Structures are given as C-alpha cells and as structure tokens.
Structure 1
C-alpha cells in the first residue's frame, strides 16, 4: 500500500499538477494520504477479525 502511495506521488510530481505545487505541500499531502490509508487498513483488519471470529 505504501508503495502505491509512493508510486502515485512520484507519477504526480513527474506528470501531473502536483509538479506545480510546492514540494512541502506535496509531501504533506502524501503523508496525510498515507496516514488515512493506514487508518483505513487497520480498521478493516480489526473489523474482519471481529466478524470472522463469530
């Protein structure tokens, strides 16, 4: 999952509109997206453990 975020960020920097944004903004946005995806993954894992146990 983190590889996907890094690949999309790199693609955005090279080809997309992210290239026109400041690097600090791009880095902060990448961190926010990574944290959001991490929280989502943990919630999904937690939910699957509780539903599969019953």
Structure 2
C-alpha cells in the first residue's frame, strides 16, 4: 500500500513538471523513458530464458 501511495505521489510530481515544460522537452523525456523501459524489458526477457 505504501508503494502505491509513493508511486502516485511521484506521478503527481512528474505530471506537474511536465505541464510546465515545453513540448519538445516533454517529448524527449518521454522518448528516453520509453527506450529505457524497452531495454529493461529485453534484459529481463533474456535473463528469464537463461
């Protein structure tokens, strides 16, 4: 439960900062996070097959 509350608080802070950032900065940050998540998913999938 505490993890969910902390995640929601972090989401609120992130959404608040994105609302004040210019659109290109927000899109660049979203792209970086997307690539990071894709790399993480590929590494996890490879680790499970070994």
TM-score (norm 1): 0.64
Unaligned runs of 5+ in 1: 1-7
Point out which structure has higher relative CO (alpha carbons under 8 A, 6+ apart): 1
1:41 alignment counterpart: 41
Which residue of the partner structure matches residue 5 of structure 1?
A: none
Calculate the TM-score normalised by the size of structure 2: 0.68
**Runs of 4+ displaced beyond 2 Å:** none
Please give the per-residue CA displacement for 1:10-37, whole angstroms capped at 9, x wherever unaligned: x82xxx1211101000000000000000
Point out where structure 2 has 5 or more consecutive residues left out of the alignment: 1-10
C-alpha RMSD of the superposition: 1.6
Aligned length: 38
| Mapping 1:20-39, distance limit 5 Å | 20-39=20-39
